[in-house]
Structure 1
Amino acid sequence: MTGMRRLTHIIPHPSVRRLRVYAFDPQSSVELDTAIINDTVIELPWETRWEDKLEPGPTNDYLEVIDYDPSSDLFYAPVDLNAPSLLAQDGFSPSEGNPQFHQQMVFAVAMRTVRNFERALGRVVLWAGDRDAPKFSLDRNFTRRLRIYPHALRERNAYYSPTKRALLFGYFKHVEGKTAFSSWVFTCLSQDIVAHETTHAILHGMQQRSIEASNFDSLAFHEAFADIVALLQHFSLTNVVRHQLMQSRGSLREPGLLNGLALQFGHATGRRGALRYALQYLEPPVPATANATTDGERGSEESLPKTLSNTSEAHARGGFLVAAIFDAFVTIYERRTADLFRLARASAVSNQDYFSGELVDRLAREAGKAADQVLRMCVRGLDYTPPVDLHFGEYLRAIITADTDLVGNDPMRYRIAFVEAFRKRGITVPGCISMAPDSLLWDAPDLAETPEFGKTAADAEDGLSNVFSHLLASLELSVSLQPWGSNHVHGTSGGGRRNLRETAVGVIQRNQARIYEWFKKDSPYDEGWEKLVGMRLLAFDDPLRKVPVVDIPTLWTGKPNAAGELPKVPRLEVHSARIARRAGPDGQETHQLIIQMTQKRRGYDDPADQDKADHGDSTVLSREPDFWFRGGATLHIDLRDGKLIRIIRKDVCDNRRLAAQRDFRIGKTSGQAMGFRVSETPEPFALLHRSLE
């Protein structure tokens, strides 16, 4: 027929990509109690126009799965998740013997972890760059994709490699005892292990000095936080949560799959249960006596249970933080569901069990909501920590302050649940007169000692905002859309599209450079900034310095010249300048610029050498230091009015903190030089995770 037109309908992309995975690990699929729930599906948002398309590997905008097995010298064929046969059945079915399912599973779990972080942070996740690259180069600030190797090691280990910016998963043969599951254990098939290692990579990308061991809490925090993310993600699997709550009659305080980590790995390494349990330290510790050990080791059978003060090993110490946060979560869940239990009991017939399937469904939903909210609180708190030398108590302050900024009213008393759980674990907050949530908030900038800012306005607070506004005016506070195809960087496909993460990195990089130059430039307010941020910005003989201050030569980190003179201006680093836009549960919003800066100082294991160097002894300063001692600050700027609302600092000239880091390194505190071993290795997680064998 002539004159007819064919109408076509554009078929939109699906909203989600569904991928089948093990809910826990392969062992749970061959046990009658858990086989029915262990095969589950993860739903990921379909790739957007502003992201790279999913390619075989799988490879997308964030991840690149490379399945090379060096022990066998084999490359396994990459899985193509866009193949019609796989799209039709939600990917490969779970299988220990199919390497392509292994690729599918690590990709699905890692991407789910990334998306959970992005929802809480209010910005895209970026991987750590190469610190050895030239300053302000793209490679220094941005790793295009995190690489994942499902079969990288034939050993009992899995870890995040900061030097490779990659996740390396091991596998090994389990030959001891008689078990119902496979004799081969693949760490890449454990949701907990994959989520744990992905969290290490995300946290390193956010805070690049976080992998440096400066105290007993630093790497313990890294391990604990990774466990917390893995544990709370259990509760997004509704069918699994429902099954477990039915067995425990609604309780989350009984040991089980929901509060344990890496069950199969734990069995294969000689444990009777999971690798770690969130409930391990759930009850308050027994008060110590003279017979208790003080070196963090188990000691004799007569020794009392561990307390935080006598525990130094990273995983064991991190267990206290895990228990505190999980306890807070369980308390919140119990408060949210108390009315449901009361109503169910009241409506039950005298000879009928009140615990019904409908009640379990409601409990599972409430557990999922509570876990999601607690996870968001924990992730948001990361932006409220100092950039170096983190302690557990400071993380509690970070969580409380971040939640108060976003959710002013706390009718369910979430913040009190956190405070109480930390207090029961013996986690203290030095410098706070009370453990009440309002007393734990990070303080606003103290302008009492910086009168110079008051010269530009009616008071110092307005003056500080006026001075800082000059910097804000030079920054890019939103993404500017370039012509299509003009913002591409290395490793990307052809033109004709925009990539949100690439654009964000460009904005961050330019803002970092501008912030660096602004603080480096001479200013009449430099002395005030020194006091506020805890770093040194002026040369020791600068004529602008009106008030005498103690100038420590170990801050001037360049090498002496031929005359033995050190550079007169200390160096500083701007680690991040990221914009976060967050939404609260009731529509609340925050718009913040978060800046992190650090500065380093020469440190020496011998206090006598430290004293000589601090007083300018060129014989000591001319050689490499034993370690680097760092200080720095996290700055929060409210983008709604440009006000600098908070500075969270660690003073680089704090000699008490320097002495504490020295004691940690040489083992003076614990009786073993654990700090030296961990702080000197470029692969701290390989060392820490291998210690669990």
Structure 2
Amino acid sequence: MARSGPVATVSLLIQDDTVDLGTVDGVPVPKREVRELALPEGANDRFLDGPACRRLAVVDLEPGSGLPLPPPAAFEPKGEGDLDGGYPIEDPEAASPAALAVNAFGVAFRTIRMFEGPDALGRRVRWAFDGEQLLVVPRAGERANAAYDRRTRSLQFSSFTGADGERVHTALSSDIVAHECGHALLDAVQPSLADRPTRESIAIHEAVADVIAVIMALDSDRLRTSVLARGGNRIDAQNAFSSIAEAFGVAKPGPGGAARHALRDLAKLTSLAALAGANPHELSTLLSAIYFDTLRDIYETRFARERGPRRDGRRRLSSVQAANRALGTAHVVFRRFVLRGIDYLPPGDLGFADVGRAAFAADQAIDAAAGRRGTAEVRRRRDAFAARFVTSGVVAAPAQLRARRPRALDVPPERLADLRDHEFAAYDYVGRHRRAIGIPARVPFTVLARIDATKRVGSKTVVPQRELLVKVAWDRVPPARADGARPRPVPVGATISLHWDDGRCLALVRSVAAEGGLPAPGGDGPPSTPADPDGDAAGAGETLLADDVAFDLFHADAAAAAGRGAGRGARSASVAARPARAARPLAAPPPGVDPGAFFDLVRARSALGR
């Protein structure tokens, strides 16, 4: 087994601190489990008080004043000078600052390591902001929300008193922490989704963040066993995987005070027509439900196989054994399918169809690299995945999700390193192949940083797949409008996947908008062609939303927005009405916390009067 870097042992909540996980064989399922947080080997990193490490650090704030406090959780090494250790908590059941900090840090750390692991992206991501450290604020204030904010380089988790009078701490919800960390990771891989936010691009962000929360929940053996025991070895009913943030949903009623069992339910596939006019969080459930249905298909297929005759002649597995083994395998297959697709997303304005196309292309690239056709099981899964995009109204036919593999884009393998490392080689390659890529003549383009990643594509006996991803961005100018209005350029792009072993093109994924677009949800134009915010070239697509580059956990009305979106003006007015306060000196950052990120966070919160 490969040696990791320093390891910290922590006790983490499996889900929310108030959720009952039921019993298995008459024994209550514990709410917590001990996890090891392992830093990458050779990363020149260590765990510090906070918790903190180079990529992730807790900043604790005094709830009333918002002033930064010393690190709430101390790192205790196993022995003198030992880099391994843990973050012990005196009373894990109490919502102490240390308990909130360790849970939020631990879940976020594990989410990042999962996302960058060989069963997902197979590489380290660079944050969408300047710097290498993401801050975690477990006591970010009093409101029913949590958020990722690129501007302050932080994940912020608030607390509130629910409708039933119980205190809810979002930092103690594994679903919520994984969801917000998912926003930060998706922003790192695909910053264009937040650079020009539309209703649909925000919905993509919310759906992917929800699915990442599902993937992290599936990683718990205890939770998988609990869900299967309570659901009769099925996952198609309401359960811990389909229900995002259960404690939050119970404590915060829905519109009109309607009771609910969770913040969002992913088990109900709907259609674009049914979601016409929905806010981005509601719209996101269409895409996340497509993915959850895919998980269900993978599990049911694997369960049927595990229940069948065994090739080695041994006795068949019991239903419980088969179900647990099938869901464990489905978890890995689903994680690879979802996150490889995220890596294949092209730059530019994107819609739901682009997400489906990228996932389809990434999955087919595995077969292309191996020089074989996918198994019957894999082909059925892809066909069912494409069919859901059709029945939900995202595309008219499955063919619209299929990417190409132009042989003209093949590269001699000895030139791949130059293509990866040198800008001249990258621009020369794209310039010579602009027609095959789909870039119009005389249109300038930008080649983004090339991505060299190695990913697992099967069991441990299967050689991992190394690929080079080349992403290209350009602007598409729509045809002139009949009313003479100046058309607004639409940012579009393409992703090219090249097999490292032989330089073959495994996939060309062009954005739908680069090809003229598909109807947008609730509109007649391309899915991600926002109207000009100045009104001089309004298009048929969606309207650009406020470019705050921050993602709240749920859609709040103006009164509850607490400084975001429609509520920003009202909050600004209330802040302005407060008596002027004397400027206070900035506190020094805690040890291990990036000073630039720390001061950005403190200044931003001071400006909001928090």
TM, length-normalised to structure 2: 0.74
Q: Residues 8-62 of structure 1: CA distance to partner in whole angstroms, max 9, x if unpaired?
A: xxxx989854321111111126999997331222333355233411111222232
2:547 partner letter: T
Q: Which moved more, 1:335-344 or 1:316-325?
A: 335-344
Q: Give the whole-Å Cα distance in 1 for the aligned partners of 2:410 and 2:539.
A: 48
What's 1:163 paired with?
A: 151
Higher Cα radius of gyration: 1
Matches for 1:318-333 after TM superposition, within 5 Å: 318-333=284-299
What's 2:503 paired with?
A: 642
Is 1:206 aligned to residue 206 of structure 2?
no
Q: Which moved more, 1:595-604 or 1:52-61?
A: 595-604
What's 2:336 paired with?
A: 376
Is 1:573 aligned to residue 573 of structure 2?
no
Query: SS at the partner of 1:676?
Result: coil
Query: SS at the partner of 1:685?
Result: strand
Mapped contact 2:22–2:29 kept (Cα < 8 A) = no
Matches for 1:113-512 after TM superposition, within 5 Å: 113-119=111-117, 120-130=119-129, 139=130, 143-174=131-162, 176-177=163-164, 183-213=166-196, 216-270=199-253, 271-281=259-269, 307=274, 310=276, 312-338=278-304, 359-407=319-367, 408=372, 410-411=374-375, 413-424=377-388, 426-427=391-392, 430=395, 434=398, 440-445=401-406, 461=408, 465=410, 472=416, 474-475=418-419, 511=422
Mapped contact 1:534–1:650 kept (Cα < 8 A) = no
Q: Give the whole-Å Cα distance in 2 for the aligned partners of 1:334 and 1:602.
A: 46
What's 1:598 paired with?
A: 473
Q: Give the whole-Å Cα distance in 2 for the aligned partners of 1:63 and 1:32.
A: 35
Change (3 A) 1:106 1:534: same
Query: SS at the partner of 1:147?
Result: strand
Q: C-alpha displacement at 1:243, in angstroms?
A: 2.2
Across the two proteins, how many residue pairs are aligned to each other?
A: 524
Q: Give the whole-Å Cα distance in 2 for the aligned partners of 1:96 and 1:160.
A: 25
Is 1:73 aligned to residue 30 of structure 2?
no
Change (3 A) 1:607 1:52: farther
2:447 partner letter: V
What's 2:29 paired with?
A: 36
Q: Residues 60-106 of structure 1: CA distance to partner in whole angstroms, max 9, x if unpaired?
A: 23212111246433434322233449947865653342111211111
Q: 2:464 aligns with which of 565, 589, 596?
A: 589
Q: C-alpha displacement at 1:600, in angstroms?
A: 4.0
Mapped contact 2:194–2:549 kept (Cα < 8 A) = no
Is 1:61 aligned to residue 40 of structure 2?
no
Q: C-alpha displacement at 1:441, in angstroms?
A: 3.9
What's 1:97 paired with?
A: 95
Query: SS at the partner of 1:26?
Result: coil
Q: Give the whole-Å Cα distance in 1 for the aligned partners of 2:477 and 2:76.
A: 53
What's 1:676 paired with?
A: 543
Q: Give the whole-Å Cα distance in 1 for the aligned partners of 2:156 and 2:36.
A: 24
Query: SS at the partner of 1:595?
Result: strand
Change (3 A) 1:202 1:608: same
Q: Give the whole-Å Cα distance in 1 for the aligned partners of 2:512 and 2:526.
A: 14
Q: Give the whole-Å Cα distance in 1 for the aligned partners of 2:525 and 2:541.
A: 16
Q: Give the whole-Å Cα distance in 2 for the aligned partners of 1:19 and 1:594.
A: 36
Query: SS at the partner of 1:660?
Result: coil
Change (3 A) 1:321 1:96: farther
Change (3 A) 1:16 1:342: same
Q: C-alpha displacement at 1:606, in angstroms?
A: 8.8
Change (3 A) 1:471 1:604: same
Change (3 A) 1:92 1:62: farther
Point out where structure 1 has 5 or more consecutive residues left out of the alignment: 1-11, 131-138, 286-295, 297-305, 345-353, 447-460, 477-509, 520-524, 539-554, 556-569, 615-626
Q: Give the whole-Å Cα distance in 2 for the aligned partners of 1:419 and 1:653.
A: 24
Mapped contact 1:121–1:380 kept (Cα < 8 A) = yes
Mapped contact 1:213–1:675 kept (Cα < 8 A) = no
Mapped contact 2:303–2:326 kept (Cα < 8 A) = yes
Mapped contact 1:24–1:192 kept (Cα < 8 A) = yes
Q: Residues 556-580 of structure 1: CA distance to partner in whole angstroms, max 9, x if unpaired?
A: xxxxxxxxxxxxxx4x433331101
Q: Residues 514-546 of structure 1: CA distance to partner in whole angstroms, max 9, x if unpaired?
A: 456647xxxxx94x53323344674xxxxxxxx
Q: Residues 419-447 of structure 1: CA distance to partner in whole angstroms, max 9, x if unpaired?
A: 32552462467586x56xxx95411238x
Higher relative contact order (CA 8 A, sep 6+): 2
Change (3 A) 1:195 1:637: same
TM, length-normalised to structure 1: 0.66
